[in-house]
Amino acid sequence: MILPIVIYGDPVLRVKCKPITEVTEEIRKLSQDMIETMHNARGVGLAAPQVGIALQLAVIEVPPDDESVTYVRINGEDTPLAEAMPLIFLNPKLDHGKEKAMGEEGCLSIPDLRSEVRRSAGVKVEYQTLDGETRTIEADGLLARALQHEIDHLNGILFIDRLSAAAKLGVRRKLKRLMLEWEEDGLIPSKR
Ligand code: ZN
């Protein structure tokens, strides 16, 4: 089932999400619906608060031929990217690598806005699977970027919070204009 995506301005995008203590049928269904919703919106990732649910759950699917990803390790073992996707992860804990990288990002909750964001080039994330198993995933490139972007969502942080001061100024202006368009399009409630 394709779920409606919450748009910038909704307070659910700003809360710290609760950990999932038990994987119920609802959680399984939600994660499948999130994958379907992400595919439908042609996104690389989607976090539960983006469909209005403040739980620590997110999904990622980086295209299997993405060349920016030079390694994926699951539980320390080299894994082909295609095999690791789609990734459904619960209650993640993020370890940043030392090296940083710039890369362009967008967000399904902030349509039509893209900007360069400085992030760790490589990360290691410990998470739980739907089977209750604890795993680690290490990756670089777009997958590392997507992991950081989605984990930020689970903490109420958006990519526009991570921009340089100069980029933030430009984005603030563009956001004001976009929000008026979203209002007109009925994507967000009207303030008038
Ligand atoms: Zn996003």
pLDDT means per 10 residues, the chain with 192 residues, are: 96 98 97 98 97 98 96 98 97 96 96 95 98 97 98 98 91 92 87 62
User: Which pLDDT score is estimated for 186?
Assistant: 86
Catalytic residue among 77, 105, 150, 181: 150
**DSSP state, residue 64:** T
Q: How far is the CA of 79 from the centre of ligand 1 (A)?
A: 25
Residue 160 CA, ligand 1 centroid: distance in Å: 10
pLDDT at 187: 85
Collect residues with CB below 5 Å from ion ligand 1. Answer: 107
Instruction: Fill in the amino acid letter for 20.
Output: I
Which residue range(s) make up the domain with 61? 11-161
pLDDT of residue 189: 82
Residue 166 has a pLDDT of 87
150 a catalytic residue: yes
- Asked if the structure places residue 53 within a domain, the reply is yes
Burial class (CB in 10 A: 0-12, 13-18, 19+), 166: exposed
Domain assignment present for residue 45? The answer is yes
Q: Within a domain: residue 179?
A: no
For position 36, what pLDDT does the model report? 98
pLDDT digits (tens, 9 = 90+) for 117-168: 999 999 999 999 999 999 999 999 999 999 999 999 999 999 999 999 888 9
> How far away, in angstroms, is 158 Cα from ligand 1 center?
7
DSSP-derived pairing of the beta strands 100-107 and 87-96:
unpaired
**Residue 129 gets which letter from DSSP?**
-
CA of 146 to the centre of ligand 1 (A): 9
Do the Cβ atoms of 155 and 82 come closer than 8 Å?
A: no
- Closest by CA position to 86, among listed 26, 27, 45: 45
Q: Cα(113) to centroid of ligand 1, in Å? A: 11
Would residue 184 count as lying in a domain?
Answer: no
Q: For residue 92, give the CATH number of its domain.
A: 3.90.45.10
Give a yes or no: residue 82 inside a domain: yes
If one counts the domains in the chain, the total is: 1
For residue 171, is it within any domain?
no
Give the helix ranges, DSSP H, for 51-190: 81-84, 141-154, 165-184
**Does residue 145 belong to any structural domain of this protein?**
yes
Q: How far apart are CA 163 and CA 138, in angstroms?
A: 24
CA 106 / ligand 1 centre spacing (Å): 7
- Note whether residue 173 is domain-resident: no
